[in-house]
């Protein structure tokens, strides 16, 4: 069937999100102060987890969460790219409203020195919770900018957007960060280095042939100029390749760099252990933990305990390691924006429920605000809708009649859910 084929779409070129929301009651707090644990996976397709129909990738922990909670079958990311989708997730707003939808072709931040990021004026659900006395942490990938005007102002950093604690990758996990995985800049290298080098080689060969035939006597400085130009291009390429990893692929704890360049050795285990430590440290206080996996974005990686163990190569190994930690990219086709979504709250939300109504990753912001009794900001549009009426079966209809999808800053598609 068409639905079955959609579930099996390849996600090599998709940025997808897996959102697992747990709400549990801290022993020393009343039910009006639930704790929040949000798990986000990067580039995980809706057809990858076993609970969404995959028969060969082993995701027993994610499947167990689905059995004990609610599975959203029409959960949609606000964008098929990392940066704008994460901005929408954090703020409950379309990325075009916050200026996080690029007008360029790239659409995401690639360098630590990139200008821009999530504006300080934006309100994240972490800010709302922090104002209510919650301990807040983001562990893993951020990808919403670092600084504004000065390398040390950290105006776009997670700690400036409501998170008391940050440990992870401030940018993104690119294949350039792992030796042997290739480069996202291959096309640029061909245009800016390989093509000029080929033209220089043709020019040199032409001058040599013309000189040999006696048709043209080029001055020695012409050969020297072309040689120096080729040397300069090659030097710039080698310099870029040498310095890119340490300058852009590093781990931070709060505002300090802790590993540069970062090592992939047991990286998932290290971040997961830190997340577990945060939960233990804040067991007696209300908390928010966002565990933002580097999986499944390239570069693909896994520890020796998972390498070569799946039936799907390095992608499957990474998926199964990501599942262990739980205990189409770039287009608006269904496989690029439709993502796995699981919500679990024992004793409050019915276990084993499946909801086919359209929901969005923007819905987390108003849902969190509602649960902690905080009013939504009145000075801006919030595009997300409170999920709790759907999750508690108080209504059988999504609050979204329309969901808009953009190709960067340009409207590309609309999902319409007619009232009748």
Residue 175: DSSP 8-state: G
Q: Which of 24, 51, 75, 82 is catalytic?
A: 82
Torsion of CA 299, 82, 291, 249, to 10 degrees: 40
- Sign of the torsion angle spanned by Cα atoms 394, 398, 401, 402: positive
Nearest to 267 by CA among 296, 298, 297, 293: 293
CB atoms within 10 A of CB 105: 8
301/18 Cα distance (integer angstroms):
18
How many residues does this entry show for the chain? 420
Ordered DSSP codes for 199-229: HHHHHHHHHHHHHHHTS----HHHHHHHHHH
How big, in percent rounded to 5, are the helix, strand and coil portions of the chain? Answer: 35, 20, 45
The C-alpha atoms of residue 391 and residue 341 are separated, in whole angstroms, by 12
Q: Which of 412, 396, 378 is nearest to 123 (CA)?
A: 378
**Pairing relationship of beta strands 338-344 and 17-25 according to DSSP bridges:** parallel
Tell me the sheet residues that pair with 287. Answer: 135
The reply to whether 149 belongs to the active site is no
Told to judge if 75 belongs to the known catalytic residues of this protein, a careful annotator would answer no
Annotated catalytic residue: which of 24, 75, 143, 249? 143
**Mind telling me the catalytic residues?**
82, 143
């Amino acid at each position: 069937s068409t639905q079955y084929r959609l579930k099996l779409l390849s996600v090599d070129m998709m940025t997808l999100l897996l959102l697992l929301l747990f709400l549990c009651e801290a022993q020393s707090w009343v039910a009006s102060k639930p704790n929040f644990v949000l798990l986000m996976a990067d580039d995980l397709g809706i057809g990858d987890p076993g609970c969404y129909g995959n028969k060969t990738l082993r995701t027993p922990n994610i499947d167990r969460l689905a059995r004990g909670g609610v599975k959203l079958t029409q959960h949609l990311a606000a964008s098929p790219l990392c940066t704008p989708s994460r901005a929408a997730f954090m703020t409950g707003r379309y990325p075009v409203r916050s200026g996080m939808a690029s007008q360029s072709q790239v659409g995401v931040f690639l360098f630590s020195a990139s200008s821009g990021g999530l504006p300080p004026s934006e309100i994240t659900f972490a800010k709302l919770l922090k104002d209510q006395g919650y301990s807040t942490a983001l562990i893993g990938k951020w990808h919403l900018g670092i600084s504004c005007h000065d390398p040390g102002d950290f105006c776009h950093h997670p700690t400036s957007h409501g998170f008391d604690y940050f440990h992870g990758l401030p940018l993104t996990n690119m294949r350039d960060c792992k030796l042997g995985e290739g480069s996202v800049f291959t096309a640029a290298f061909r245009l800016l280095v390989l093509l000029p080098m080929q033209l220089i080689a043709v020019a040199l060969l032409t001058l040599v042939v013309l000189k040999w035939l006696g048709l043209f006597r080029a001055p020695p400085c012409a050969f020297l100029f072309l040689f120096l130009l080729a040397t300069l291009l090659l030097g710039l390429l080698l310099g870029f390749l040498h310095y890119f990893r340490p300058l852009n692929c590093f781990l931070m704890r709060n505002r300090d760099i802790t590993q540069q360049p970062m090592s992939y050795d047991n990286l998932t285990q290290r971040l997961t252990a830190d997340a577990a430590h945060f939960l233990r440290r804040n067991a007696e206080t209300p908390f928010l933990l966002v565990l933002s996996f580097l999986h499944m974005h390239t570069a693909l990686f896994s520890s020796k305990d998972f390498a070569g163990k799946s039936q799907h190569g390095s992608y499957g190994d990474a998926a199964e390691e990501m599942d262990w930690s739980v205990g189409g990219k770039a287009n608006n086709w269904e496989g690029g924006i439709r993502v796995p979504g699981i919500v679990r709250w024992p004793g409050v939300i019915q276990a084993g429920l499946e909801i086919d109504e359209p929901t969005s990753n923007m819905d987390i912001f108003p849902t969190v605000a509602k649960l902690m009794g905080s009013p939504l900001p009145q000075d801006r549009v919030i595009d997300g809708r409170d999920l709790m009426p759907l999750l508690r079966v108080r209504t059988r209809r999504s609050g979204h009649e329309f969901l808009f999808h953009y190709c960067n800053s340009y409207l590309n598609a609309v999902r319409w859910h007619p009232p009748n």
